[in-house]
Amino acid sequence: MLIAYLTAGAPDINTTKEAVMKLAKKGADVIEIGVPYSDALADGAILQKASKQALMNGFHLDHLWNLLSEVNEIEVPLVILAYYNQIWHYGVEKWVKKLVAHNVKGLIVPDLPYEESKTLRQICDRYGLNIIWLISPTTNKTRAQELARACKDWIYVISRTGVTGLETEFDKQIPKLIGELKKVTKAPIALGFGISKSEQVKLVKSWGADGVIIGSACMQILLEKGVDQLSEWISVMKKSFCP
């Protein structure tokens, strides 16, 4: 399973639309779309740059809803990443209903702890939207298992502490963590943060992961080389995971 990340509106919303359509054809199994945010604490330099560019170009939520309407017919599931402050200001139930109406399958909220998410969980359950929880190498075993059981779609395992980016060193506990999660859930496990090379994809697969999430590398290629180069590169990365 290859999950490709795009920042909505970077470098512009039309490019995002084109990228979604082409990645869906070139091997992405899931496309994660990040909502630009000026205070995205989990983002490294590349994704911060992408968010800043989108916001400077005048990105607002109407652009997101229009984008989702225009790519609604693709067969690849869409997941939205947004920070809770964005969701809260828009209105939690209104946000969830909007995503479901646009055929979005999952929601990632990186700054919302599970124990503070009761309202969001209840609303998502009501409308059939999956929340995808993040588990890191520093998450204690009991909490990691609780989060794994709460995931109804796939599980996002963070490869190391810190922010997103092209730093390639994975935490040494990752293989063990994947094994422990496999004991308590049948949900697919995808590893993200720092994945940009075919060799890494093959290594992650050898650890038992079911997928990889590629974000910073996707956006770097998109911003520097364009949609066609990104879609061809994704095709190569997909073959590394599913030869």
> Within its chain, how far is the Cα of 99 from the centroid?
15
> Within its chain, how far is the Cα of 121 from the centroid?
18
Neighbours of 124 (CB within 10 A): 22
Q: Is 58 left (phi over 0), alpha (psi -120 to 50) or beta?
A: left
**Coil vs helix vs strand at 36:** coil
Beta bridge partners of 7: 34
> Could you give the residue numbers annotated as active site?
32, 43
Q: Nearest-CA neighbor of 17 among 27, 31, 30?
A: 31
